[in-house]
Amino acid sequence: MAALAVAVPVSAIAARAFTARDLAMLDRVADPRLSPDGAWVAYQLRETDYAANKGITGIWLVAVPAAAADAASGATLVSAERRLSAPGVASWMPRWRRDSKALYFLSTRSGTSQVWRLDLAGGDAQPVTHAPLDIASFMLSPDGRHLVVAMDVFLDCDTPECSKRRLDERAARQDTGQLYERLFMRHWDAWSNGTRSQLFIYALDAQGDAAGAPAWLTRGIDADVPSKPFGDDSEFAFTPDGRALIFSARVAGSGEPWSTNFDLFEVNLDASATARNLTSDNPAWDTGPALSPDGKTLAYRATKRPGFESDRFAIMLEDLASGRKRELLPNWDRSADSLQWSVDGRTLYTTADDVGQKRLFAVDVAHATIAPLTDQGTVGAYDVGRGGIVAAVESLAGPAQLYWIGRAGGAPRPLTHHNEDKLAGVGFGAYEQFAFQGWNNDTVHGYVVKPVGYQSGRKYPVAFIIHGGPESAFGNEFHYRWNPQTYAGAGFAVVTIDFHGTPGYGQAFTDAIRGHWGDRPLEDLQKGWKYALGHFDFLDGTRACALGASYGGFMVNWIAGNWQKPESGAWKCLVSHDGVLDARMMYYGTEELWFEEWENQGTAFAQPRHYERFNPIDHVADWRLPMLVIHSARDFRIPLEQGVGAFTALQRRAIPSEFLYFPDESHWVQKPQNSVQWHQTVEAWLKKWTAGP
């Protein structure tokens, strides 16, 4: 196994602490793509325009040095990153032409999101499409003769132009009412306008430009393809012969908000027939199609339990000639993420959460064996080529960089060096993973982070951070919303616990939270806090605050009435961001009902007692700890009224409290200046209540 540890910058011993402004200004590396000839990596880089209060994504390029062809050589990789796209204009999603001489990408430089092409030999980027609507994602066919694009259209319109006219007519009207006939009238952070994301295909001419009108590939599919709000081109794929497209879609009609039944469909590129369902036998989630290089085998990911979004994603293989399906690694107790084939078709690559890390794995298809290629850190996007793999990797020690993982093994080595100037002279807190016995005597893991400038023998106030999800993790990653290093930079030690419900520790561990939001995870938090206090003498348990968002906000609201006095005496303060106050009203106010129905083992009207079992609102009479409440107007996952209600309860009970409101944010606070305000408000609240010698 090749170990991969994201190095702490040389400046980590410097005096200046890492701040929220530092976090907001960091460049963010993502979406690496190896050229077919293996010589180059194109990738996205998000830079921050703080004055404009936004991030701007551009396309960058870095060479893969010849020494990378033999990763065991020990040679140092020397390369220089360079920008390809115009500065100040959003450009993203770089995709190579098959001859490695040009890049296709999305850009808004024409005023709408369109596909553009840039020849690496020189010259300006040229528009490929002139669609009447924004293009959200795209894919080039293997032979380079076709281009599939995703656009939001009305299903009863024949052409994208019809949808554009209807949207323009609606915008010109003076009345603003919108009549809905079914749910998903709002989702994540936006209200529905009646359109669906659908796939269209253009023919490309000899210059590589879109020629003529596009054909509608997903006509008749009442679903968003790719899915919303975060679906992308990983949900569809060309067959290697360029004859057909396979895509994932949830066709659920009025039951869409409580369904996780995604199926894989195959459609011919001439759009001459309705798409054929390939996975109708599975009522749960099928997604991530990846075709073997010879076109004979379809690999994809599938869950087994309908309605459970955090069920284990198994790796499935389907023989396309016979239709026979089999699970590749039935005994591997991890949930597979994205899939890619090796060029020779012998290996499948995937990422998965694994004991506080997110590792890259190689699967020998013939022998059904799996081996990790990385050790420490979190692997985000990656791409597989002839000579090796490029992957974006981050850790608690620093933001993502691109690393080269050679086919001959050996230690992965960095290709990019972004943010070195921004982090010069900045220190990070040292961190350590620990384990203890939690609920049911299961082994539970957590992390502790020392404050910047740590001095042996001193005790420090503590930020006890509770992750959301709840089926997510606070692992070895560099988070842009809940980053322990910002607290370490503010003088706090940090403790996080991956309680029952967290992925990466086996599916039974994840499943254990169902119906037990307030007891099993709380027991893990209590035992983890006790363990940390007993083993890390720099933690000052008398000056500690608990804080969290989403499920973490729920748990903070639950703690307010059920765990005011931890081992150290009492929490000094609490921070609840986007937290659930009333579990029953949460069911009726949220959008993705499958989540609530799975976690609470039924609907709120059929099983009200399940929603009341761990309902924070029933314990408001016991609240007494100072609390900062944070919520945003465009949060439709946990609606604003949940935060307003918590603040109302605190104020009416005369408990010291503050309410931070963002009218322009969703479940996440993403605008740079809002992010800095968020961090500064939280840090001020913690310092106010933990002040002491």
Burial level of 63, CB count in 10 A (0-12/13-18/19+)? middle
Closest CA to 42 of 101, 87, 112, 1: 101
Tell me: the pLDDT tens digits for 194-216? 999 999 999 999 999 999 999 99
The pLDDT, as a whole number, for residue 409 is 54
The pLDDT, as a whole number, for residue 618 is 98
pLDDT at 64 over 50: yes
Residue 578 to residue 639: CA distance in whole angstroms:
8
Residue 561 to residue 623: CA distance in whole angstroms:
5
DSSP string, 100-153: SSEEEEEE-TTSS-EEEEEETTSS--EE----SS---EEEE-TTSSEEEEEEEE
Give the number of other Cβ atoms within 10 Å of residue 7's Cβ: 11
Out of 189, 353, 524, 635, pick the active-site residue: 635
Rounded to an integer, the average pLDDT of 341-357 is 96
3-state secondary structure 492-540: CEEEEEECCCCCCCCHHHHHCCCCCCCCHHHHHHHHHHHHHHHHCCCEE
Residue 474 to residue 497: CA distance in whole angstroms:
7
Out of 107, 259, 550, 657, pick the active-site residue: 550
**3-state class of 15 per DSSP?**
coil
50 Cβ neighbours under 8 A, 6+ residues apart: 24, 25, 672, 673
Average pLDDT, the chain: 93
Determine the length of the chain: 693
pLDDT at 6 over 70: no
pLDDT at 483 over 90: yes
Rounded to an integer, the average pLDDT of 555-573 is 90
Rounded to the nearest 10°, the torsion over CA 676, 431, 447, 357 is: 90
Q: Does an H or E element contain 350, and which?
A: strand 347-354
pLDDT at 99 over 90: yes
Tell me: the pLDDT tens digits for 16-48? 999 999 999 999 999 999 999 999 999 999 999
pLDDT at 359 over 70: yes
Residue 389 to residue 410: CA distance in whole angstroms:
12
CA 187, distance to chain mean position in Å, is 17
Question: What is the residue type of 311?
Answer: D
146 is catalytic: no
CA 371, distance to chain mean position in Å, is 24
pLDDT at 146 over 80: yes
pLDDT at 615 over 80: yes
pTM of the model: 0.94
**3-state class of 282 per DSSP?**
coil
Out of 467, 516, 667, 679, pick the active-site residue: 667
pLDDT at 10 over 70: no
Residue 47 to residue 49: CA distance in whole angstroms:
7
Residue 376 to residue 388: CA distance in whole angstroms:
19
The pLDDT, as a whole number, for residue 274 is 87
Two tokens, residue 456: 């042996």
99 is catalytic: no
Rounded to an integer, the average pLDDT of 506-528 is 98
Rounded to an integer, the average pLDDT of 622-636 is 98
Partners of 369 in the β-ladder: 364
Task: Pick left, alpha or beta for residue 221 (phi over 0 → left; psi -120 to 50 → alpha; otherwise beta).
Answer: beta
pLDDT at 5 over 70: no
Confidence at 76, pLDDT banded by 50, 70, 90 = very low
Could you tell me what percent of the chain has a pLDDT over 70? 95
pLDDT at 13 over 90: no
Rounded to an integer, the average pLDDT of 4-19 is 56
Two tokens, residue 470: 């709840």
Confidence at 273, pLDDT banded by 50, 70, 90 = confident
Q: How many CA atoms lie within 13 A of 26 on its CB side?
A: 28
Rounded to an integer, the average pLDDT of 77-96 is 87
pLDDT at 1 over 60: no
The pLDDT, as a whole number, for residue 569 is 73
Separation in Å, CA 578 to CA 335, 469, 474, 658: 27, 12, 17, 14
Tell me: the pLDDT tens digits for 367-380? 999 999 999 999 99
Confidence at 573, pLDDT banded by 50, 70, 90 = very high
The pLDDT, as a whole number, for residue 495 is 98
The terminus-to-terminus CA distance of the chain in angstroms comes to: 47
Domains and CATH numbers, the chain: 10-171+181-421 (2.120.10.30), 430-690 (3.40.50.1820)
Rounded to an integer, the average pLDDT of 591-603 is 98
Tell me: the pLDDT tens digits for 380-419? 999 999 889 999 999 999 999 999 987 655 577 899 999 9
Task: Pick left, alpha or beta for residue 409 (phi over 0 → left; psi -120 to 50 → alpha; otherwise beta).
Answer: left
Two tokens, residue 239: 């067959």
Least confident of 159-173, 264-278, 313-327: 264-278
Task: Pick left, alpha or beta for residue 142 (phi over 0 → left; psi -120 to 50 → alpha; otherwise beta).
Answer: alpha
CA 464, distance to chain mean position in Å, is 23
By DSSP bridging, strand 244-249 and strand 236-238 are antiparallel
667 is catalytic: yes
**Are 532 and 446 a contacting pair, CB within 8 Å?**
yes
**Are 188 and 229 a contacting pair, CB within 8 Å?**
yes
